A and B are shown apart, each in its own frame.
Chain A
Amino acid sequence: MKKLINNPEDVVKEELKGIELAHPDLVKVFYDPDFIVRADAPVQGKVALVSGGGSGHEPMHGGFVGKGMLDAACPGAVFTSPTPDQMLEATKAVDGGAGVLHIVKNYTGDVMNFEMAADLARDEGIEVESVIVNDDVAVEDSTWTAGRRGVGLTVLMEKIVGAAAEEGRSLKECADLARKVNGQGRSMGMALTSCTVPHVGKPSFDLPEDEMEIGIGIHGEPGRHRIKLEPADKITEMLLEPVVEDLPYKEGDEVLLFVNSMGGTPLIELYIVYRKAVEILDAKGIKVVRNLIGPYITSLEMAGMSITLLKMDEDLKKLWDAPVKTAGMRWGI
């Protein structure tokens, strides 16, 4: 293992300390239990957004805490769901009297821990709603699996619903909006290389030089298929077609196109993918009206990318363009 770390057990704590020192204008960091809240929390009268998940996906979620996005993020160990005590304390710290929305990616552990935390918070008199993100078309949504994973769409949901909470929408309106975003967003990802969890010390899977994994999640779990490497245009097609067909996105639709790096893939390659994705969508009469390109929901140093489409309307465009000021995403301010 070759990593810029000290003791593998200290990775998350040392990262949090770095975030605390780097962004005192944006966030406050709490330890044991660990969570990050926006610097001006709790914001009275505003719905608060809390998310969380394993570490290793930076900038998600801690990098999305701040004005116009999340009120709190709970980081677990690398690729491991955080625990209910973290979520409960974060929920209490950001509750401004208008209720708290939990944004939960659909993984068995995340769902169980957030469910327990929401129950505990309700016991303490806080109004909590939960929304599950499950946008990964690589997983068949059936009783035979744990259901579709929450992947790239999580970033878009946190931005859009964060803007809605900022402009004063109610808890119910925010939760309905989040479910609407989940309903019209889809993603799929692929890996060129594996990644190594610091406290494990070995790659999560072995991937030969001339092969790739199609349909991966964000935790270094292998995908649905392993096949021979193909050129970027072909890979783009392999990811985008199932995404388009799943909703399906149709001629005349306006979309946000999100091309995300899994951590190790540079922007130069993401733009090659973006170019091909726009070409494919153009040919189908689907219009890209907004985009996001870069490493926003990563799997440590994994090389690879994911493509997310979100069907847009006037309200979503307005919320997407609204000001946001976080470590990981910042515009309009």
Chain B
Amino acid sequence: MAITRDDVLNWIKSYAQAIEENCEMLTDLDREIGDADHGANMRRGFRAVLEKLPSVEDKDIGTILKNVGMTLLSKVGGAAGPLYSTMFTKAGMTIGAKMEMDLNDWAQALEAGTTGIAKLGKALPNDKTMLDALYPALNALSAAMGNGASVGEALQKSADAAHEGMLATIPLVARKGRASYLGERSAGHQDPGATSTYLLIKTAAETWTDC
């Protein structure tokens, strides 16, 4: 079975919806250890993405994802803008001009996006960042694929791992981003970036469960 262009579009819309619904929660998490704008910035970005989608929805998956990336870059600002932009742009470049993709394409796209984020943000695992949700999601995805899991199962395992990774940021002391200014005071709080990242993986699993 394959993940079609329409499935990809539905995932982006579903993520935009999740950002809308969790905007306040993301901002509250950011208020505790950052500067109280993560939810608002992501919402501004994904509202712009929803406006942009109709003009590219007849294009291939790579083009659509790259357009999402460019829109986020010019609308989100902060650190999340370039980082999420990189995720979508690198994923789009990896998938290329395809109208449908398989799980392997998705795993490669996710890996390219994650590598791009790691390079741009210069963060390592356990720095209390988006990567702490992304790396577990990637590892779980490839393990499930190795075990011959179905698309739905593999994506669900990936989302579960992202969820665990997100929760595992709570005791960590931040070493990147604005939360790092708090030093030890950043421990005991869930990372907002890891949280919005978990939602990204979760909405993919939910949207593509029957692919």
Contact = CB atoms under 8 A, between A and B. Distances in A.
Interface of A: 33, 54, 76-85, 107-109, 112-113, 116, 138-140, 143-146, 149, 197, 199-200, 202, 204-205, 217, 219-222, 224
Interface residues of B, number: 32
A108 B38 CA distance: 14
B82 A220 contact: no
A109 B37 CA distance: 12
Given A145-B183, A204-B36, A219-B35, A108 B73 contact: no
B182 A224 contact: yes
B34 interface: yes
A144 B175 contact: yes
B40 interface: yes
B124 to A, nearest CB: 10
Nearest to B75: A83
Nearest to B43: A199
Contacts, number: 111
A205 B31 contact: yes
Contacts of B81: 81, 83, 109, 112-113
A106 B9 CA distance: 36
Contact of B181 (A76, A84, A149, A205): A149
Interface string B158-184: 000000000000000101111011110
Given A77-B41, A80-B78, A204-B31, 12 more contacts: A76-B77, A80-B37, A83-B74, A85-B74, A107-B79, A113-B81, A139-B181, A145-B183, A217-B181, A219-B35, A221-B35, A221-B178
Given A84-B73, A109-B82, A77 B181 contact: no
B56 interface: no
Contacts of A139: 180-181
B59 interface: no
A70 B80 CA distance: 27
Interface in B166-211: 173, 175-178, 180-183, 185
B37 A79 contact: yes
B181 A146 contact: yes
A82 B176 CA distance: 19
B41 to A, nearest CB: 6
A197 B82 CA distance: 22
A140 B183 contact: yes
B121 to A, nearest CB: 7
Contacts of A146: 176-178, 180-181
B41 A108 contact: no
B177 A222 contact: no
B74 A199 contact: no
